Homo-oligomer: A and B are copies of this chain.
Amino acid sequence: MGHAGPASGHTFDVDTSVRAVGENRFAADVTDRWNALGGGPNGGYSLGICLRALGQVLPFPDPLAVSAHFLRPGVPGSAEVRTETIRAGRRLATGQASLIQAGKEVLRVVADFTDLTTAAGPTAVFAAAPDLPPPDEAVDLTAGGGIPGVTITDRVEYRAAQTPGWVLGKPSGLPQAEFWMRFADGRNADPLSLCFLVDAAAPVVLEIGQRSMTIALSVHVRARPVPGWLACRVATRYLIDGYHEEDFEIWDTTGKLVAQSRQLALIPTRAP
């Protein structure tokens, strides 16, 4: 398979690990190593924990179509994941997972799993990969260290043709971006971690001076990526009354689309 798996000891695998504590019940520790802008665990990281649990109960290895509804902010600390196998077929299996902290559900996930290596059918692509300079010639966006408190920027590396406007205090006014991304510790991406990575960059509405809070996220994993850098494209096209979608694509270095996601998010209301 060519990617570092859960036995690798990489931080993402350690920090998303779950241990069975009963039938369809798992214990997990939400660490403070994946905190997002605004504080608190990144939603994609919490999703990764749920998918790890589903991977233990479903008969296929790869998340294919993942729907996540974020109910409350998570916090670093202990958590429980409850799972349900909804259907296990020959080609797909569908399961549900709930992440629970302090007795309250933080995240509800429904996911179809498959074995992507058995996918067979026609291929036709009507869009191009992001147009980026080679990673070695691109600007390392975390070269001077990540953003203090935003610990996810210690775990993920980002490179782009130029420093984003919002980082320089000059939002571009256009909520779209293209950049490279990879785990900082050398872990290669696999289908499960792609479901985290689609949520691992700063919200692109920062380019119009806004912050963002995810309500729901859907991810489609389209192929197992080859090892190495991932080319990403993100855009928000419709901000309406505070609600906006964010579309995210991840391509591997062979020029293949490997994941596509869309989230619905809300501009958080500031205290008066």
Contacts and interface: CB of A to CB of B under 8 A. Distances in A.
Interface of A: 64-65, 67, 69, 71-72, 86-87, 92, 94, 96, 105, 108, 110, 112, 119-127, 174-176, 208, 210, 215-216, 218, 220, 222-223, 235-243, 245, 256-257, 260, 262, 264, 266-267, 269
Chain B CB within 10 A, most for which of A86, A120, A237, A242: A237
B243 A260 contact: no
Contact of A87 (B71, B210, B243, B262): B71
A245 B64 CA distance: 12
Contacts of A123: 239-241
Given A67-B218, A262-B218, A174 B242 contact: no
B262 A262 contact: yes
Contacts of A69: 65, 67, 86, 94, 110, 112
A123 B243 CA distance: 8
Identical chains bound together, number: 2
B119 A94 contact: no
Best-surrounded residue of A86, A120, A124 (most CB of chain B within 10 A): A124
A114 to B, nearest CB: 9
A243 B112 contact: no
Contacts of A257: 238, 240
A237 B125 contact: yes
A236 B121 contact: no
A262 B220 CA distance: 10
A127 B223 contact: no
30 contacts: A64-B215, A67-B69, A69-B94, A69-B110, A69-B112, A71-B86, A71-B87, A71-B94, A108-B110, A112-B215, A112-B216, A119-B241, A120-B241, A121-B241, A121-B266, A121-B267, A122-B210, A123-B240, A123-B241, A125-B239, A126-B235, A127-B237, A127-B238, A216-B218, A220-B243, A220-B245, A220-B262, A223-B241, A238-B257, A238-B260
B105 A87 contact: yes
B65 A87 contact: no
The 10 closest A-B pairs by CB, nearest first: A121-B242, A67-B67, A119-B241, A65-B216, A218-B218, A127-B237, A124-B239, A65-B264, A126-B237, A121-B267
